[in-house]
Amino acid sequence: MPWEKSFNEQEVLDNATQVFWQKGYESTSIADLLDRTGLNRGSLYNAYGGKQALFIKTLLNYDQTRLEMLAALEALDEPVKAITKFFDDVVSSTLADTEHKGCFLFNTALQIHAHDRQVNEIVTNGINQIEAFFRRSIEVGQARGDIRKELDPAETAKTLIALTVAIRVLGRGVFNKSALQTIANQAKKIIL
């Protein structure tokens, strides 16, 4: 008789994501994952193949959520508003994170080893997606006259990525709302 899932996969991915996010890949044990997801060892291995495969699934799930968020921002069809809202949301989510976990994507970028090709590709792709959102928004804003024409969209997008990383990393420490919002406000100052 074939093995049949008896759990909510999205719930398992969400719970596993929280464990990896809090502890990092290396510090997360199978016991941690079993405890948080409610799976037994056999179910985890049958459904996901193990810790590494589950980690990759959590990254891909997080990636999908990020893509949906970026699409919603682009759907505003107002590039300056989209970029500003992106940074306001980053500050809000950073401040709402009472555990000071930072960003799952950026944390993973800092923790992965270069030899882990698949994870490296997922993380690089995730950062590239955010950068592409910034670049497209800048290009559209320039075409409409809302964003300074002299800006190089690719270079400016990289600068906005750096500001995003700064907020997420500094937010893990003692930086307060005012300090994080000051960093976020620089994004608007750069493009206007």
Q: What is the pLDDT of residue 114?
A: 63
Instruction: Give the residue-averaged pLDDT of 79-93.
Output: 97
The secondary element (H helix, E strand) that includes residue 17 is: helix 9-23
What is the maximum alpha-carbon separation in the chain? 66
CATH architecture of structural domain 8-57: Orthogonal Bundle (1.10)
36-58 burial string, b = 16+ CB within 10 Å, else e? bbebeeebbeebbeebeebbbbb
Q: What is the pLDDT of residue 100?
A: 87
- Kindly report, residue by residue over 141-184, the tens digit of the pLDDT: 999 999 999 999 999 999 999 999 999 999 888 778 899 999 99
- Kindly report, residue by residue over 26-43, the tens digit of the pLDDT: 999 999 999 999 998 998
Token pair recorded at residue 88? 């306001």
The secondary element (H helix, E strand) that includes residue 9 is: helix 9-23
Average pLDDT taken over every residue of the chain:
92
Say if 8-57 and 76-191 have the same CATH topology.
Answer: no
User: Does the pLDDT at position 115 exceed 80?
Assistant: no
Show me where the domains of the chain are located: 8-57, 76-191
CATH code given to domain 76-191: 1.10.357.10
Q: Residue 162 half-sphere exposure, CB side, CA atoms within 13 Å?
A: 8
Which residue from 30, 2, 26 is spatially nearest to 16, judged by alpha carbons? 30
What is the pTM assigned to this prediction? 0.89
Instruction: Give the residue-averaged pLDDT of 100-117.
Output: 85
- Contacts for 44 with CB less than 8 Å, ≥ 6 apart: 30, 33, 34, 37, 50, 54
Q: What is the pLDDT of residue 8?
A: 87
- Contacts for 66 with CB less than 8 Å, ≥ 6 apart: 105, 126, 129, 130
Residue 16 in 3-state DSSP?
A: helix
